[in-house]
Structure formats: structure tokens, C-alpha cells
Amino acid sequence: MCSFQCRRAVRLFPLTIVVLALVLSLGPAGSVADDGLRSQRLLVYISAGTPQLRTQLIRLGIDVLALDFEGVTARLTPAELRALQQAGFACQVMAVGAQSVLVDDRYHTFAETEAELQEIAALYPDLIRLEVIGRSVEGRPIYALKVSDHAQEDEWSEPAVLIFALTHAREHLSTEMALDIVHMLIEGYGRSGEITNLVHQREIWVIPDLNPDGDVYDVESGYYRFWRKNRRPNADGSFGVDLNRNFGYQWGCCGGSSSDPATEIYRGPAPFSEPESAALRDFAASHPNITVSLNLHSYGEWILWPYGYTYKPLPADMPPLDYEAFRRLAGEMAGMNGYRAVQASQLYLADGTADDWLYGTRGIFAFTFELYPRTYNPGFYPPGSVIPAETARNRPAVLYLLRTADNPRKVVGEGGDLTPPWVELVEPAAGGYISGPLSLRAEAGDDIGVTMVEFAADGRMLGLDEEPPFALVWDDAPAVGSVWVWARAFDAGGNMAESPHVLVHFAGASPGYFPIVQRMVVAGP
């Protein structure tokens, strides 16, 4: 490990002059195979305290690994570093020579992802529908998996959610997050009132691997290749198009992508030139009930919203109400997972992105999660041991997004349902004698309608009822002991209410005058 500070202060040249000097000095950053440059690469932190400066660095096509509001971390050749120094950028070399990183078999390969999706679809045909929505440059299938209570039907009246991952090949944690969401939903179905209600009220589509060719290429040698793009053969001998610069809204408009095929942000020869981005376009266009989307990337621990193509928070193509809804939704989710919420362009400009197209063309409230970690160490390839914790960390935020899908603008008071239902546990009655199976009954109501009531005891779900009168018999209640029981009610807006808790005392013989049922005025412990 070696570090030193490049002493040159950033000179206040006009940005166009800086860019011209750098482009002439650097040449095409990706013109040599990554494996051949591995031993020459330097890990460098480059100070860049404004979105404009960060955008200028990214426009060069250097291999940016991470960024924050103060600068970017990149892998550079010695020539690239010298050019940045000569342009006046303050740099810190943190490592000399790129370390080879062994592929971690705790992450899914493409073949393993494919097999798991097919297995899930076979095991849960009532909840899961698996489709091939397109094929990659090299002919691999792009899968979309639907989770819903009527999975094989198209329920156009229900709001739909689109979740997709691995747009960039080296971001393998995103596939793990997508698969975790699927498992959360199918394993929680019938065991969690909230999840069951959302599966009933939403169509949830998950695409775990949008870039299967890049995925395979990144891992096939046994060492990660730091590969980002797809595997399109380019005319100059390089490979790959950045799929997240290939979407048609404001494609190539604003300096947030590159026309140089050798760069990491090459936008392709035309909008939707790539079968992978075209597959997502066609899928979204054929599902007009999609209201929100979640684009999973890594890394940096950010929650981003459109637009990426302009620094303006309120351009002409975004109503102020939508901006405020984006800000509030992202802020709520960031409060749940500890990420940082920001409009995408406040990090750097990026045009032709999936989120910009989904919102700008389809009106979908599109978000990106840049997953764990926050810094370059461990970067794109954290050990597989973190997968359970880092995916579980995002579950509350994902469920929140699913709840808002009936109308995302409801968070700013524009339509949708924010009014929770009410629920009261009316049986068992206070003071009754409890022995054997316990009958529970609840009354519930809502301004639009109650969709489900859940009965619970000491945190364990006892069962669900979708039709009034809402009732349940607890057949395997304990013979002796004391248990808190309660009910929760749900509505189509994903809102929930919980009844006061009732303490039930079970005994083999009547305790006489002792009141064996006590009703709490406030929620239980």
C-alpha cells in the first residue's frame, strides 16, 4: 500500500479547456483489455467538489469506482494520472497495482440465477410467473419474474412495480438484492399480513440480471474483471455499450455519456441499439400499470431519483409536485436503510439512463439504490458473507416503495390512499375464562375498504381473514400461560392499523374471581 498527495491545486481553467487537455493526453481509456492493464493500474482519489467537476472526470471515460460530494475514486494508468496532475487536479494514490480478486462463489452466477428462477417458478405456480422478455447480444435469456396472487393473469387494474438489477456487470450484489426481494415476498406470503396484502394488491416484476453477457464475462476467468458494459463488439475492436446510457430519453444530449466505444460510458450508436435496453423498454411499454420502479446498482449507499441529464432540480419536464414527491419518497426510504438520498445529477451528469427514460417517457416514479458498500474498500466485490445483512437492510425500504405504488404522489397529498383503516379486537371479552381453543373476532373499517385482517399472538401470526366478519379460531393455543393477542387491518393503499392488545391467561381450571382477560388501552409491549 502506498499513498501520496499530488500537490497541485485545481487551477480554475474553463472546463472545456481542461477537458480538451485531458482527452488529448489520455486517449481512449478502454482501448486495451482490462486484464492487460491490471498490473499497471493505480487506485487514486481525485478531488472534485462540484457536480460539474465530477462530470468532467467521468466524461473522460476513466474507470470510476466510487464517488462522494468531494471527489471520485478511480483506477488509472500512470499516463492517466500524469494527465490529471498536469490539468491541476489534486490526487491521492491509495494503492499501486490493481489487486486480483477471486470470484466469490457465494454470489450467484448467471447459470445459478437462471436455475433458481426456474425452480421458484415451478414450486410456486400460483404466486410466480417467469417470462423471457428478450435476449442479450450473445443470445442469453433476460428473465422477468412476477410475484402476485394471480400470477398467471394480467391484472391491469392493480398497480405494478418494476425492480431490475445488474445493468452493470460488476455489480453482483444487485442480483442478490433482487433475488432477496423475491424470497422475501414468497416466504412472507401467508406468514406476514403486510407482505400477503401487498402480494394481493400489487403486480411485482423482478428482473435479476439485465446484462447476462457482461455478468458471465466478469466472472468466467475465476477472477473478477471489473467489467461494466455489455459485450457488444465495437468497430474499433473494443467491447461493450454502457446499458445505462443507451435509453432513449435525452440520449447523448448533455455530456453525460460518450460517443467513444472504448470508454466506460459509451452510449452506443443509437438509442436502444442494445437488445438488453430494448427488452426493458418493450417490457415497460407493454405494462402500462407500472407506477414505480427500483433500479439496483452498486455501490455507494445512495438513493437517486431523476433527472440525471440536467443539473436543474426542476427542469421543464418535471412538475414541482413530482419533484417534491421524489424528494419525500427517497428521504423516507433513506431513513429506513441509512443511505443518502439525492437527485442523480447532483453526483454527476448522466444522460440516456433507464431512470430518466422510465420517468420522462412513461411517467414511472423511478429510483436507483446504489447498494453497499459506501467506499472503494471493499468496492464492487464485497465478501459474500455480507449478503444476508446488506439485503435485509433494504427490505423495509422496498416494502415502503411497494406500499406507495397505488399512487406515489399521495405523499404530497395528490390522490392515492394515506388514510389507515381502524380495527378493534372484540373477542375474547375482558374477564372471560379461557380454556382450549381461542376464538378471535375483529371489527374493522376503512374509507375505501379493508382488504385483510391479521390475527397475532406475542408476535406470531395466527392467521389471516379477507372477508367480514373477520374471525379466527386458534386451535393450538397453549394449555397454560399468558399471551398477548391483537389484530391488524390492511387496505389497498398498503396502510395498516393495529388494535389494542389483549392479555389472555390460559389455565386448566377456572381461576374463580381472577380476571383472566385484560384489555389494554394502548398497544402492548
Task: Tell which residue, 109, 288, 116, 271, has the closest CA to residue 205.
Answer: 288
Residue 122 CB coordination number (10 Å): 10
Q: Are residues 337 and 372 in the same domain?
A: yes
Query: Within this chain, do residues 32 and 54 fall inside the same structural domain, yes or no?
Result: yes
pLDDT in tens, 42-82: 999 999 999 999 999 998 888 898 899 999 999 999 999 99
Same domain, 88 and 177: no
My answer on whether 407 and 426 are in the same domain is no
> Do 51 and 131 sit in the same domain of this protein?
no
> Residue 273: how many CB atoms within 10 A of its CB?
14
Q: Of 412, 444, 474, which closes a domain?
A: 412
If one counts the domains in the chain, the total is 3
Residue 260 CB partners (closer than 8 Å, separation 6+)? 28, 61, 266
Question: What CATH number does residue 337 fall under?
Answer: 3.40.630.10
Angle between helix axes 354-362 and 275-285 (nearest 10 degrees) is 30
370 as an active site residue: the answer is yes
CATH of residue 53: 3.30.70
In terms of residue numbers, what domain contains 377?
A: 120-231+275-412
Residue 191 lies in a domain: yes
Task: Out of 383, 412, 441, pick the residue that ends a domain.
Answer: 412
Residue 218 near residue 170, CB atoms below 8 Å: yes
Asked whether the beta carbons of 140 and 132 are under 8 A apart, the reply is no
* Residue 215: φ, ψ to 5°: -60, -50
Residue 10's pLDDT band (boundaries 50, 70, 90)?
very low
Cell of 184: 422475501
C-alpha cell at 158: 392493480
Catalytic residue among 370, 390, 443, 454: 370
Q: Are 281 and 333 within one domain?
A: yes
Cell numbers at 44, concatenated? 487514486
Q: Are 358 and 440 in the same domain?
A: no
293 assigned to some structural domain: yes
First to last CA, the chain: 52
CATH number at residue 491: 2.60.40.10
Q: Residue 25: what pLDDT? A: 42
Per-residue pLDDT reduced to its tens digit, 371-416:
999 998 899 999 999 999 999 999 999 999 999 999 999 999 999 9
Q: Do residues 296 and 373 share a domain?
A: yes
What per-residue confidence (pLDDT) applies to 32? 37
The rounded distance, in Å, linking the Cα atoms of 302 and 353 is 16
Q: In the predicted model, what is the mean pLDDT of residues 31-49?
A: 69
Alpha carbons within 13 A on the beta-carbon side of 229: 27
Q: Is 450 part of any domain? A: yes
Q: Is residue 81 part of a domain?
A: yes
Q: End of a domain among 356, 377, 412?
A: 412
181 lies in a domain? Answer: yes
Looking at residue 33, its amino acid is: A
Q: Are residues 182 and 297 in the same domain?
A: yes
